[in-house]
């Protein structure tokens, strides 16, 4: 007689090498995206995060074209785009959005060129789908050490920047008064975001990596009263959605007669459903965060 566990988890799930690789790299991407995503949402830079993910697709396309590690391609182009967006001086929000939009357009244009050259010179037809929407069960195990190195580096960077990054995210003017180099912190934050989207891009794809970066962070900020708790919640929600998505996609091969659903779709669908539930049930503490700003302002006065 089949047990509940055997119904939920199809045979071979825990012994499959592609599943283990997807689970490890997916967890790394979820943790880093959740931690960095909280600061990205607080700073109102969701569009910049999405832009970095789009531009990094040019690096992924170049990696396919020249036969290099795709993570290095996503990471290199993402960091270059982050530096371009922050170093072009833009003091107003509308100006920053303009710069971000221009950089995004240029990056996507380069991605289109590399994908065209890849298809015409090597007759590769699946590169565009893999780069834009991911293919987690096809990730080679050899990429795990580099992915973990990038993930740990990003978390260490956030740990070192935590206090000035949090203060400059909540109140840039107060941070500047206290001597925090706001512009440098902003640049370092975008570079860490580029590391997060590079990890997400090799899992759920460049386009859908925004869902992993912003979704869990937005849910956590609805639930948490303090930024530190929001960071832990965002990482936990990201891991739960990633591993849940991998399980659903693996099981779907049984339901669909061997075709299966894309892992990236399952992950972002779980994140979307969780966000809808939290938003509709009134579990919101996001408005409590401004109290942190108020308290810091009063102490500074």
User: Using one digit for the tens of pLDDT, what is the confidence trace for 167-216?
Assistant: 998 888 889 988 999 989 999 999 999 999 999 998 888 888 889 999 99
**Range(s) of the domain holding residue 33:** 4-281
pLDDT at 160 over 80: yes
Residue 89 lies in a domain: yes
Residue 86 lies in a domain: yes
Residue 263 lies in a domain: yes
Across 36-44, average pLDDT:
93
pLDDT at 125 over 80: no
Which position has the higher pLDDT, 293 or 43?
A: 43
CATH classification of the domain holding 105: 1.10.3470.10
Residue 289 lies in a domain: no
Residue 292 lies in a domain: no
Residue 258 lies in a domain: yes
Across 282-298, average pLDDT:
51
Residue 16 lies in a domain: yes
Residue 131 lies in a domain: yes
The number of domains in the chain is: 1
SS (H, E, C) 7-21: HHCCCCCCCCHHHHH
């Amino acid at each position: 007689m089949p047990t509940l566990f055997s119904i939920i988890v199809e045979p071979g799930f825990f012994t499959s090498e592609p599943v283990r690789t997807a689970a490890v790299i997916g967890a790394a991407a979820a943790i880093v995206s959740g931690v960095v995503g909280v600061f990205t949402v607080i700073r109102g830079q969701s569009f910049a995060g999405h832009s970095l993910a789009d531009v990094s697709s040019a690096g992924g396309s170049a990696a396919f074209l020249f036969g290099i590690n795709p993570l290095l391609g996503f990471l290199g182009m993402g960091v270059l785009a982050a530096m371009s967006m922050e170093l072009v001086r833009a003091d107003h929000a509308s100006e920053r959005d303009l710069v971000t939009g221009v950089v995004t357009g240029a990056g996507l244009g380069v991605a289109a060129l590399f994908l065209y050259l890849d298809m015409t010179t090597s007759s590769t037809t699946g590169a565009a789908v893999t780069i834009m929407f991911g293919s987690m069960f096809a990730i080679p195990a050899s990429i795990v050490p580099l992915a973990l190195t990038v993930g740990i580096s990003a978390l260490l960077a956030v740990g070192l920047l935590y206090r000035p990054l949090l203060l400059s995210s909540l109140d840039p003017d107060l941070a500047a008064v206290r001597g925090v180099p706001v512009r440098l912190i902003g640049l370092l934050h975008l570079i860490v975001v580029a590391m997060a989207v590079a990890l997400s891009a090799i899992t759920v794809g460049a386009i859908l990596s925004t869902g992993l970066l912003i979704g869990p962070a937005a849910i956590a900020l609805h639930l948490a009263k303090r930024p530190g708790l929001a960071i832990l919640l965002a990482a936990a929600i990201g891991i739960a959605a990633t591993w849940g998505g991998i399980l659903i996609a693996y099981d779907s091969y049984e339901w669909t007669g061997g075709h299966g659903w894309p892992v990236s779709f399952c992950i972002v669908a779980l994140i979307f459903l969780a966000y809808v539930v939290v938003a509709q049930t009134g579990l919101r503490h996001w408005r409590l965060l401004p109290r942190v700003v108020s308290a810091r302002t009063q102490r500074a006065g």
